[in-house]
Chains A and B, each alone.
Chain A
Amino acid sequence: MNRVDALREIAATPALRVCNLGYPSRELFHVRDDPTTFYMLGSMGLASSVGLGLALVQSRRVVAIDGDGSVLMNLGTLSTIAHFAPAHFTLVILDNGTHGSTGDQPTHSSLGTDLARVASACGVARVRSVDTPQGLRATLDESGGSVIVARIEPGNADVPPVPLTGPHLRDRFQNAVGAIP
């Protein structure tokens, strides 16, 4: 399974989505752009936190799409998710063992850090590990809050950056959510 394979399954799941910066957002935009997707174009490490905040204040399902390097940059998020995330929040960690957007430098997950076990140790009640598109789809279709660690191959699709401005992304996402502060 490569990242685009995984993103196709996530894009087909009805939910509000918050997507990690770099190639994950580029590729998801390429696979299927939708106003219910919030693309993180900066602030590495915070896709899971933004998704959690969104899930805490409204009732629609939220899927946060993160990477192994980004979760390792904000490991406390797993503990916060364990204790405060509602059942309609899911964090998908696309784990390719590398910093894929900066030249495939190895992350600590490639050195043996097991993010599924870290999530469990943080207190996340339902943690799943998958390594096929079918497995990811089946796990996303299960109900209840969870952390899904999806093992994917390193590599990026040859797709350009997301061509949208920050305020435009904010406005269209808030409109899609039905939440104008």
Chain B
Amino acid sequence: MTPDVDHQIVALLRASGVDFACQVPCALLAGVVAGLGQTGVPVFPVTREEEGVGVCAGAYLGGRRPALLLQNSGLGNSANALGSLHGFYHLALVLLVGFRGGPEERVAAQKPMGEATPGLLDALGIPFAVVDAADGIDAVATVARQAFSEHRPVAALLRPGVWT
């Protein structure tokens, strides 16, 4: 982990207006989760990613600007909600995703969802940016601004290289 990168991602989220978050643990995002909470943003742990999609929808209806921090495997758990909740009602959500299952992946079971993730987001009509290294993390702010200005979910997929 490189704490500076975590702090930069937190700063980009805050500068983009994120003021509410839910999270399902991801090893890559642990520092961001902790750092976001330290800035005073309420960060609620949920039991499953789809549940977090719902809680974030409620927070958005109540006037907040939510982010869901999750691993890309959890996007698969959330597909219906991202479509029939956020897609149907046009609700904003920043998806900050730890992107496992790439070429460097050592856990074989992460591979199938790693390969399916871009196609899954395409199928749901969710714009996304893939960030391979720390010098690309400004994309987090671009993603968040698009989510809030267009009232839709938008994803930043952060590969392990962001932290190495």
Residues of A bordering B, CB below 8 Å: 18, 38, 40-58, 74, 76-77, 79-80, 84, 166-167, 169-170, 173-174, 177-181
Please report the C-alpha to C-alpha distance between residue A159 and residue B109 in the assembled complex, in whole angstroms: 47
Q: List 29 A-B contacts (CB under 8 A).
A: A42-B83, A42-B85, A43-B81, A46-B54, A50-B54, A52-B58, A53-B62, A54-B58, A54-B59, A54-B62, A56-B55, A56-B58, A56-B62, A57-B58, A57-B62, A57-B63, A57-B64, A74-B48, A77-B47, A80-B51, A167-B90, A170-B89, A170-B90, A170-B91, A174-B61, A178-B63, A179-B61, A179-B63, A179-B64
Whether A50 lies near B58 (C-beta < 8 A) is yes
Whether A46 lies near B62 (C-beta < 8 A) is no
**Given B51, B65, B89, which contacts A49 in the complex, CB threshold below 8 Å?**
B51
- The secondary structure that dominates the A interface is helix
Q: Which of B45, B55, B58, B83 has the most CB of A within 10 A?
A: B58
Given contact pairs A48-B54, A57-B64, A169-B89, enumerate 5 new A-B contacts (beta carbons under 8 Å). A42-B83, A54-B58, A56-B44, A58-B63, A166-B90
Which residues of chain B are near A50, meaning CB under 8 Å?
54-55, 57-58, 61, 85
Whose C-beta in chain B lies nearest to the C-beta of A76?
B47
Contact residues on B (Cβ < 8 Å of other chain), bracket: 35 or more
B20 contacts the other chain (CB 8 A): yes
Whose C-beta in chain A lies nearest to the C-beta of B54?
A49
B99 contacts the other chain (CB 8 A): no
A53-B85 CB under 8 A given contacts A58-B63, A80-B47, A174-B63: no
Whether A38 lies near B53 (C-beta < 8 A) is no
Which residues of chain A are near B54, meaning CB under 8 Å?
43, 45-50, 52-53, 74
- B65-100: contact bitstring with A at CB < 8 Å (1 yes, 0 no)? 110000000000000110111001111100000000
Q: Which of A50, A173, A178 has the most CB of B within 10 A?
A: A50
Whether B88 lies near A49 (C-beta < 8 A) is no
Please report the C-alpha to C-alpha distance between residue A57 and residue B60 in the assembled complex, in whole angstroms: 9
Whether B51 lies near A181 (C-beta < 8 A) is no
Whose C-beta in chain A lies nearest to the C-beta of B66?
A53
Whether B92 lies near A181 (C-beta < 8 A) is yes
Q: Measured between C-beta atoms, what is the minimum distance from A144 to chain B in Å?
A: 20
Please report the C-alpha to C-alpha distance between residue A85 and residue B80 in the assembled complex, in whole angstroms: 24
B6 contacts the other chain (CB 8 A): no
Which residues of chain B are near A174, meaning CB under 8 Å?
61, 63
A166-B58 CB under 8 A given contacts A76-B47, A76-B51, A77-B51: no
Whether A55 lies near B58 (C-beta < 8 A) is yes
B136 contacts the other chain (CB 8 A): no
Which residues of chain A are near B53, meaning CB under 8 Å?
43, 46, 49
Whether A54 lies near B85 (C-beta < 8 A) is no
